[in-house]
Amino acid sequence: MSIKNKNIIVGISGSIAAYKSAELIRLLVKEKAMVIPVMTKNAAEFVTPLTIQTLSKNKVYVDMFANNFDWEVEHITIAKKSDLFLIVPATANVIAKIASGIADDALTTLVLSVKCPVVICPAMNSEMYKNPLTQKNISYLKKLGYYFIGPEKGELACGDENIGRMSEPVKIISEISKIL
């Protein structure tokens, strides 16, 4: 199925791999998807909301308590019209929050609000990924019906060659097309 005319939330968390989310958004928009970007404050340390806004051609949600909002409860409105929620990159922290039902920022609050498929693309150091707590959280979320793409083995930010590298944007788009 095509991603054309699909409403796709792209959640970006604070990982060095956040730079890949910019390319992913560019490719989604090129395929005529409507991208609704949501960033954690930590993600904004790696890639700016202005970059993401420019590429998505849409408002970026970072702060749940911003005073430049519409009258509606935005996270509920966004949740209702979404076809897919893609978290790219997903840190161990964000995965743990989702698995625990913690909703303390715009991204995790929105995850609890959606009824559409949620696709998580992990990116982290291999030791964090292999940690039994992270593996438990991933296993639990898979049992609940969350989808995972990656991570892959390759060169990590620390220079190691190991598992933890976020999948490439082209592969992610191919996989989400199958899910949709």
Q: Which residues are part of the catalytic machinery?
A: 158
Give the count of beta carbons closer than 10 Å to the beta carbon of residue 50: 10
Q: Which two tokens stand for residue 39?
A: 């960033």
**CA 3, CA 26: separation in Å to the nearest integer?**
13
What are the two backbone dihedrals, phi and then psi, of residue 26, each rounded to the nearest 5 degrees? -60, -45
Q: CA distances (Å), 72 to each of 77, 113, 133, 175, in order?
A: 7, 14, 37, 33
